[in-house]
Amino acid sequence: MKAAVIRQFGGTEVFELAEIPKPEVKAGHVVVKIAASSVNTIDMMLREMGEALPFHPQLPGVLGMDFAGTVEAIGDGVTGYAIGDEVFGCAGGLGDIQGSLAEYMVADAELIAHKPKNLSMREAAAIPLVGITAYEGLQRAGITQNQKVLVHGGAGGVGHIAVQLARHFGTEVFATGAAGEQTDLISNLGATAIDFKAESVADYVEKYTSGTGFDLIFDSVGGANLNNSIEAAKLNGQIATTLAMHEQDLTMVHMKGLSLHVVFMLIPMIHNHNRSEHGRILKELATIAEAGALKPVLDNQAFTLQEAGKAHKRLASGQAIGKVVVTI
């Protein structure tokens, strides 16, 4: 089969289209004929940082975590799937697990779900990693109806899904972005857009919460931006973040009695821990999508398997609006 292979870590030029053996099915897994794969920030980190990350792929390797495709073979012990079923998931591209930038891959059946019927393969491939991340963060932070929810980075891959899920859960949603395409997207998704360059945290907290602060903050920017989340949170508020690799003064977290939830959605794949939870969330996301409450935004540039490097370069440019997807 054809695959986008990397033989060294580094820049976007490391990809090469190569013939590699087609994977064979094994117990608890399915073989999927891949239709599409999406590029995530973690894919770029793995390509660039390589051995600096403990879960880096073995070389020569095939990157790609997210996918949508069709079940071609079913291993022993797998139930609930039939050959020909359309599925989606996040199940490879780490350690010795082949990724989805290939014509076929073996996927743990606990890490997949049936594809939403109303979404294309390209749309479905854009959901798994960002969808699981957004869903887990909102749930762990105890999202409930009628809350005021602030999403930092509301036009990003994770952020634009978090905005839609927060609205689905019955909250009033606000989201930060840069003026222009980002704030336009946030508004189109039904949230109140905040131009973070034009409005200070104090200003929009006063404007939208009368100075009280937001009930729940989903921070998909993280790092130093956690200070903005802490400032924007109400007393005893909830913050979920996707990036906490940052030295942080927790004084105001203590003084405001905040709860901080860190989401690292790769844990089930890296540690083979509670993988069925990812399958459960994917099923829930499919239900939400089929109800019309969740639709990923795709970048207007499309890429083929041979253009995997260009797809990585597009995401790295910061110019993409929505998810970057590779059609296999």
Do 121 and 135 reside in the same domain of the chain? no
What element of type H or E holds 236?
A: strand 233-241
Residue 211 has pLDDT above 90, yes or no: yes
Residue 319 has pLDDT above 90, yes or no: no
Do 90 and 190 reside in the same domain of the chain? no
| Number of domains the chain is built from | 2
Do 136 and 87 reside in the same domain of the chain? no
Q: Which of 237, 262, 287 is the last residue of a domain?
A: 262
51 or 281: which carries more pLDDT confidence? 281
Tell me the β-bridge partners of 113: 88
Residue 294 has pLDDT above 90, yes or no: yes
The pLDDT score that the predictor gives to residue 198 is 96
The pLDDT score that the predictor gives to residue 26 is 96
The pLDDT score that the predictor gives to residue 301 is 95
Return d(Cα 81, Cα 94) in angstroms, integer.
24
- Mean pLDDT along residues 278-285: 98
Do 282 and 245 reside in the same domain of the chain? no
Do 200 and 300 reside in the same domain of the chain? no
Do 225 and 274 reside in the same domain of the chain? no
Identity of residue 74: I
- By C-alpha distance, which of 105, 111, 68 is closest to 91? 111
Instruction: Supply the range of the domain harboring residue 151.
Output: 130-262
- Total residue length of the chain: 328
The pLDDT score that the predictor gives to residue 52 is 87
- By C-alpha distance, which of 279, 293, 265, 323 is closest to 133? 265
Are 47 and 9 in contact, with CB atoms under 8 Å apart?
A: yes
Chain-wide mean pLDDT for the chain? 96
Global confidence as pTM: 0.96
63-83 pLDDT, tens per residue?
A: 999 999 999 999 999 999 999
Handedness of CA 139, 144, 148, 154 (dihedral sign): positive
Cis before 54 (ω within 30): no
Tokens 């909250």 found at: 171
- By C-alpha distance, which of 191, 110, 165 is closest to 288? 165
- Mean pLDDT along residues 51-66: 92
73-112 pLDDT, tens per residue?
A: 999 999 999 999 999 999 999 998 999 999 999 999 999 9
> In this structure, what is the dihedral angle of CA atoms 123, 77, 135, 144, given to the nearest 10 degrees?
130
Do 122 and 17 reside in the same domain of the chain? yes
168-209 pLDDT, tens per residue?
A: 999 999 999 999 999 999 999 999 999 999 999 999 999 999
